[in-house]
């Protein structure tokens, strides 16, 4: 089969590799029907995630059809259409029992396209298939469903829920890539007073408006702190969500927050950021970090099925899998191409 293989920082190839086989009784082999690229894959390609080594198939988001299941798989059957979540869960360790699947101690967590071969391939081996896949609901297309593999639960759990977005809040979202946009969409469910999107790319700020931000700030041209001060009588944002993953944006989020506010970091960071504790200690600020757990996936599936959340606007580009390198290029130059999520399907 063909797959997108990582060959060290800056290097990747769409190349022939062996088709995966069952390795444990609880595995499934899924034929990938639709797959996408994440900002985290770009971090991996920059060398920010050293656990990913040469030869690894990237990708942690997919919708596909089950081809084969091990004898220990109880609920997933050959032929089922499933969502392959970015988080794999053993279902029985201490963390999985608490719903913190991202921290799974039983061999799950974020492993696809990280510690084991991922979904940017014609076939993928999914460990713990019963607890790591979700049956596709009728009436929800592959590409809609694909947005629930990572971006929607991440924006919702690590941004909106960790940040405790509440009615009437002024919510600042730093970074309007797919994750920031998912956080905007999730924040809107709680009737905030204002959602302020901050980004350096005007194309992303345009998208942010469509996803429900009522104020946008290009921080190359305007000072977000002044804009937020103007909306909050000088206090600062109730919630600041960081959705970029570089020191400057974490530090910016921490300066935008009001006393007793909450900074929710979503970004994957590859280097240290400065925490200005000398300013923050007296302000009762809460800072949260997190890897997505995907405990909200059932809720999000309900919202999508009921048309309360519409993932379709995320999908800006379509490619056949054979054009994976072009898809990466389009996604990596999002500021110019206007790409949000690129969807690749079987050619």
**At its nearest, how many Å lie between ligand NAD and the CB of residue 49?**
9
Q: Which does 112 bind (CB under 5 to 8 A by kind): Zn ion, ligand NAD, none?
A: none
Q: Which does 43 bind (CB under 5 to 8 A by kind): ligand NAD, Zn ion, none?
A: ligand NAD
Write the CB contacts of 140 (distance below 8 Å, at least 6 apart in sequence).
301, 304, 305
Q: Which is nearer to ligand NAD, 189 or 332 (CB)?
A: 332
Nearer to ligand NAD among residue 287 and residue 292 (C-beta) = 292
What is the distance between the alpha carbons of residues 151 and 132, in angstroms, rounded to a whole number?
Answer: 16
Contact predicate 183/160, CB 8 Å: yes
Q: Which residues of this chain interact with ligand NAD, rule CB under 6 A?
A: 38-40, 43, 150, 154, 158, 174-180, 198-201, 204, 219, 243-246, 248-249, 266-268, 290-292, 334-335
- Per partner kind, with CB cut-offs from 5 to 8 A, the member of Zn ion, ligand NAD, none near residue 106 is Zn ion
d(CA 132, CA 91): 9
- Quote the CA–CA distance of 72 and 86 in Å, as a whole number: 21
The first and second tokens of residue 191, run together, are 């009737």
What mask, x for binding Zn ion by CB under 5 A, covers residues 34 to 63?
----x-x-----------------------
Which segments within 220-340 are labelled E, that is strand?
237-242, 257-265, 286-288, 315-320
User: In the bound complex, what is the minimum distance in angstroms from residue 181's beta carbon to ligand NAD?
Assistant: 7
How does strand 28-36 pair with strand 123-126?
antiparallel
The binder of 267, among ligand NAD, Zn ion, none, by C-beta within 5 to 8 A per type, is ligand NAD
Q: What is the torsion angle, in degrees rounded to the nearest 10, for the CA atoms of residue 180, residue 121, residue 35 and residue 57?
A: -10
Query: Using CB distances below 5 to 8 A depending on partner kind, what does residue 200 bind out of Zn ion, ligand NAD, none?
Result: ligand NAD
Q: Which is nearer to ligand NAD, 81 or 341 (CB)?
A: 341
Considering beta carbons, is residue 122 or 242 the nearer one to ligand NAD?
A: 242
Say which entry of Zn ion, ligand NAD, none residue 32 contacts (CB below 5 to 8 A, set by partner kind): none
Residue 37 or residue 170: which is nearer to ligand NAD going by CB? 37
Question: What distance, in Å, lies between the first and last C-alpha atoms of the chain?
Answer: 13
CB of 42 to ligand NAD, least distance (A): 6
| Three-state DSSP class for residue 284 | coil
State the Cα–Cα distance between residues 168 and 188, nearest whole angstrom: 11
Q: Which does 266 bind (CB under 5 to 8 A by kind): ligand NAD, Zn ion, none?
A: ligand NAD
Residues 104-123 that bind Zn ion (CB under 5 A): 104, 106, 108
Count CB atoms within 10 A of the CB of residue 308: 10
From the list ligand NAD, Zn ion, none, partner contacted by residue 96 (C-beta under 5 to 8 A by kind):
Zn ion
**Nearest residue to the partner ligand NAD, using Cβ:** 177
Scanning the structure block, which residue is given the tokens 């405990």?
Answer: 295
Interface with Zn ion includes 96 (CB under 5 A)? Answer: yes
List, as one string, the DSSP characters of 41-65. HHHHHHT--TTS-TT-B----EEEE
* 311 φψ region: left (φ > 0), alpha (ψ -120 to 50), beta (else): alpha
The CB-of-133 to Zn ion minimum distance in angstroms stands at 15
Residue among 217, 151, 213, 145 at smallest CA distance from 182:
151
Question: Which of Zn ion, ligand NAD, none binds 219 (CB below 5-8 Å, type-dependent)?
Answer: ligand NAD
119 vs 232 by CB, closer to Zn ion: 119
Which has the closest alpha carbon to 147: 290, 341, 339, 298? 341
In contact, 37 and 342? CB cutoff 8 Å: yes
For residue 99, give the 3-state DSSP assignment. Answer: coil
Q: How far is the CB of 59 from ligand NAD (least distance, A)?
A: 13
Figure out which of the listed residues 93, 160, 243, 263 binds Zn ion, where binding follows CB under 5 A. Answer: 93
Interface residue list for Zn ion (CB under 5 A): 38, 40, 90, 93, 96, 104, 106, 108, 150
């Amino acid at each position: 089969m063909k797959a997108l293989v990582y060959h060290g920082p800056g290097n990747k190839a769409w190349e022939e590799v062996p088709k995966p086989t069952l390795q444990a009784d609880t595995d499934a082999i899924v034929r990938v029907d639709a797959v996408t690229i994440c900002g985290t894959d770009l971090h991996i390609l920059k060398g920010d995630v050293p656990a990913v080594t040469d030869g690894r198939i990237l990708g942690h988001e997919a919708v596909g059809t089950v081809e084969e299941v091990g004898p220990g798989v109880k609920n997933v059957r050959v032929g089922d259409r499933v969502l392959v979540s970015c988080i794999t869960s053993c279902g029985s360790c201490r963390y999985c029992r608490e719903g913190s699947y991202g921290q799974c101690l039983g061999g799950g967590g974020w492993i696809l396209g990280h510690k084991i071969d991922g979904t940017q391939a014609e076939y993928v081996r999914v460990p713990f298939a019963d607890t790591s896949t979700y049956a596709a609901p009728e009436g929800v297309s592959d590409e809609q469903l694909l947005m629930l593999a990572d971006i929607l639960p991440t924006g919702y759990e690590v941004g909106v829920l960790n940040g405790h977005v509440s009615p009437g809040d002024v919510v600042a979202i730093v970074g309007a890539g797919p994750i920031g946009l998912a956080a905007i969409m999730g924040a809107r469910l709680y009737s905030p007073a204002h959602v302020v999107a901050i980004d350096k790319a005007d194309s992303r700020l345009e998208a942010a408006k469509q996803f429900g931000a009522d104020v946008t700030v290009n921080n190359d041209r305007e000072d977000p702190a002044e804009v937020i001060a103007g909306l909050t009588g000088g206090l600062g944002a109730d919630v600041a969500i960081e959705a970029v993953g570089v020191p400057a944006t974490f530090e910016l989020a921490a300066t935008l927050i009001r006393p007793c506010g909450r900074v929710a970091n979503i970004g994957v960071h590859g280097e240290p950021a400065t925490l200005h504790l000398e300013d923050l200690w007296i302000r009762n600020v809460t800072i949260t970090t997190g890897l997505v757990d995907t405990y909200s996936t059932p809720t999000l599936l309900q919202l999508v099925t009921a048309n309360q959340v519409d993932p379709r606007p995320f999908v800006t580009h379509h490619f056949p899998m054979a054009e994976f390198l072009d898809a990466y290029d389009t996604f990596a130059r999002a500021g110019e191409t206007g790409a949000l999520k690129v969807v690749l399907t079987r050619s």
